[in-house]
């Protein structure tokens, strides 16, 4: 996701990464997300909608493969490392929302696919 925004010059009206992350959190709050956790350094925030266990990670750095394996509840990450304009942050938020929607779809499809044989038999009409 970050590659789409990497080569765009931010311009004079760009926000430093800390302020751009704060703007992203505000924009995501407008879509129903609230902070449910943050790391000890305070540079990664985990947001969720309501009681859904899925998380959107907002940070200034990417996750390591070990972190990805250890935290499957993170459906998508929005990483802001460089100064960004309001327009760029808004575009990144929209992309993150699409990524979350895709993550929810994959999670739901995996849950349906991992149902028991009894559930599959009931769904197919056999007992």
Q: Which pTM was predicted? A: 0.78
Rounded distance between C-alpha atoms, residue 126 and residue 56, angstroms:
39
Rounded distance between C-alpha atoms, residue 35 and residue 32, angstroms:
10
In the three-class reduction of DSSP (H, G, I as helix; E, B as strand; rest coil), residue 115 is classed as coil
Residue (of 98, 56, 108) closest to 79 by Cα position: 56
DSSP 5-33: HHTS---TTPBPHHHHHHHHHHHHHTTTE
Tokens of 112: 């349906």
The predicted-structure confidence for 80-96, as pLDDT tens digits, reads as follows 999 999 999 999 999 99
Q: Name the average pLDDT for the chain.
A: 86
**Pair type for strands 55-59 and 33-38:** unpaired
Confidence at residue 5, expressed as pLDDT on a 0 to 100 scale? 52
Residue (of 85, 36, 83) closest to 58 by Cα position: 36
Whole-number Cα distances in Å, 7 to 60, 61, 84, 115: 17, 17, 11, 44
pLDDT tier at 12, thresholds 50, 70, 90:
confident
């Amino acid at each position: 996701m970050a590659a789409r925004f990497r080569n765009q010059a931010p311009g004079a009206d760009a926000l430093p990464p800390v302020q751009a992350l704060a703007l992203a959190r505000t924009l995501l709050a407008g879509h129903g997300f609230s902070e449910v956790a943050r790391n000890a350094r305070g540079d990664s925030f985990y947001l969720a909608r309501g009681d859904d266990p899925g998380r959107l990670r907002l940070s200034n750095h990417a996750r390591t493969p070990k972190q990805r394996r250890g935290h499957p509840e993170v459906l998508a990450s929005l990483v802001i490392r460089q100064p960004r304009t309001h327009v760029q942050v808004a575009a990144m938020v929209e992309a993150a929302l699409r990524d979350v929607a895709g993550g929810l779809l994959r999670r739901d499809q995996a849950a349906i696919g991992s149902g028991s044989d009894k559930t599959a038999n009931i769904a197919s009409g056999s007992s």
